[in-house]
Amino acid sequence: MRVASIALCLRGIVARKTIADGAHARVHTSMCSVFRSRFQPQSYHTSLGRIQNRGVATQGGAARSDDRNPESTSAQQLSLMDRFIKRLGVIGGFYSQNQLAMRAARNAYMTCCDQSSHREFIELTGLPDNFQSWFLIQQLHVWMLMVRAKQEGSLGATFYKQLVQFFWDDVEHRMRLMKIDDVTIKTESARELNSMFYGLLFAYDEGLVKDDHVLASAVWRNLFHHTKGTATARDVAQLVAYIRREVHALDGVDAKDLLERGAVSFGAPPAVCVESTE
């Protein structure tokens, strides 16, 4: 009797285990099928399309035709990532107004570099093609942007300061390219250039707020000093007209374009007048 009772108990345990194993297997199989369907590429894109376009349908209640388009989904994922990265930038201050103005100043400074590289300025003024001549022509274009930035309050001041910083960084870089390693020479040169920079600012500002005669005098003294014996009044007038034209054009630049993107441009450089020999 005892043996029979034990046998019956064992059969009951085995039967219950079999039932439990079967249930576990069915649950496992069901879960695997769920995971497989969820991570199948086509099903995944379809599911994502339904979630993102829930409640959005075309006329007649049909779903949009591009819901199952992998390219559309990829673009949506990219857009989500872009928005996430931008959100991180906002949190970190990357898109603050001051940061935008500082980056805009860099774009504007590069525009100055492009404009100053035109040979017409060297040919018109008769300046030698050297570092000092680059300094004078580049400073002229930086000054014109500074005039525009001064009209924009505190953000304009941020733009203005960063623009000047880029200019001096460029000056130092070019001095290094010239292999000026002597500390005394570098210090003395920097002092002279700094004095020249602010002297030019004062001279051009005075000419801008007064009249063309004062502006022409500043241009003559600072940009035609190598050709005072050969340069003509027409040459000076050409450069004065160029300055007036570009300052006026920069006044028309939208503040947002200036302070957020540095979207500025200069017109054609002044033409070189050729005197007739007749």
pLDDT tier for residue 2 given thresholds of 50, 70 and 90: very low
- pLDDT digit string, tens, across residues 174-199: 988 888 778 888 889 989 999 999 99
Q: CA 203 to CA 221: how far, in whole Å?
A: 10
What mean pLDDT, rounded, does the chain reach?
Answer: 76
pLDDT over 90 (residue 207): yes
Q: 144-180: string of b/e by CB count within 10 Å (b at 16+)?
A: bbbbbbeebeebbebbbebbbebbeebbeeebeeeee
Amino acid of residue 221: R
Beta strands in 40-94 (DSSP E): none
Q: What is the pLDDT of residues 29-48, one digit of tens each?
A: 443 443 333 333 333 233 33
Helix (H, G, I), strand (E, B) or coil at 145: helix
Q: Per-residue b/e over 225-237, b at no fewer than 16 CB within 10 Å?
A: eeeeeebeeebbe
CB 104 within 8 A of CB 259: yes
Q: Do the Cβ atoms of 139 and 200 come closer than 8 Å?
A: yes
Taking the C-alpha atoms of residue 115 and residue 266, their distance in angstroms, rounded to an integer, is 7
CB 137 within 8 A of CB 114: no
Residues 119-129 have a mean pLDDT of 94
**Each residue's pLDDT tens digit, 227-261:** 877 889 999 999 999 999 999 999 999 999 999 99
User: Residue 73's pLDDT is what?
Assistant: 55
